[in-house]
Amino acid sequence: MIVHAAKNSSWLTRNVWVLSAVSFLQDTASELLYPLLPIYLTAVLGAPPAVVGAVEGAAEGAASLTKVAAGPLGDRFARRPLITAGYGMAALGKVIVAVAGGWPGVLTGRVVDRVGKGVRGAPRDNRQRKGLLQTLLICRRQFQPNGDRIAFPAGVDEACVIAAQGGGERGGDLGLRDAE
């Protein structure tokens, strides 16, 4: 089992294991939600296509600016609260998107989510490196990104199942039932 391997592997520390698991769950949620976001914005909320680009541009811009500040913050302050705040903001952003009644709410949720990603990135990586020898960093660098890669198909599969079932209560018919 993986937990058993964690106890026997010197590179698979508790920090690497927990942060990789949380990252997997967060990425699965992102891959579930964000591929359907353009359809949700235009077909369900009635936003013009230009809003899709504006929402994504603002979100990624916010993430990039936050990443610049997060590195020095992680060096100056305790890393665990920054990591927790980052993952918490990302989860809150997804909830805001889910309850949004219009595209400004989706924009707010996406920006909160991406700011959370920017806040947690550098402190998370620094915390995972804590206590690892340089040669073992190679294993850590492969483990966590591979967890992220596994999250992509898991999230997309979940999104397809939900969309095929009618998109849930708020999503309505996303136009996928006509193909049946």
Identify the CATH number of the domain in which residue 30 sits.
1.20.1250.20
Q: Is the pLDDT of residue 132 over 80?
A: no
Q: Is the pLDDT of residue 2 over 60?
A: no
What pLDDT digit, counting tens, does each position of 91-129 carry? 999 999 999 999 999 999 999 999 998 888 877 777 666
Is residue 133 included in any domain, yes or no? yes
Q: Which residue in this structure is represented by tokens 């596994």? A: 150
Is residue 103 included in any domain, yes or no? yes
CB 83 within 8 A of CB 23: no
Between 105 and 11, whose confidence is greater? 105
Is residue 99 included in any domain, yes or no? yes
Domain boundaries, position 34: 19-166
Domain count, the chain: 1
Q: Is the pLDDT of residue 4 over 60?
A: no
Is residue 179 included in any domain, yes or no? no
* Least confident piece of the model among 21-35, 58-72, 166-180: 166-180
Rounded mean pLDDT of the chain?
75
Q: What pLDDT is recorded for position 3?
A: 47
Is residue 39 included in any domain, yes or no? yes
Between 127 and 67, whose confidence is greater? 67
Is residue 124 included in any domain, yes or no? yes
Is residue 152 included in any domain, yes or no? yes
**Interior/surface letters 91-117, b for 16+ CB within 10 angstroms, e for the rest:** bebbebbeebeebeebbbbbbbbbbbb
CA dihedral 100, 96, 114, 52 (to 10 degrees): -10
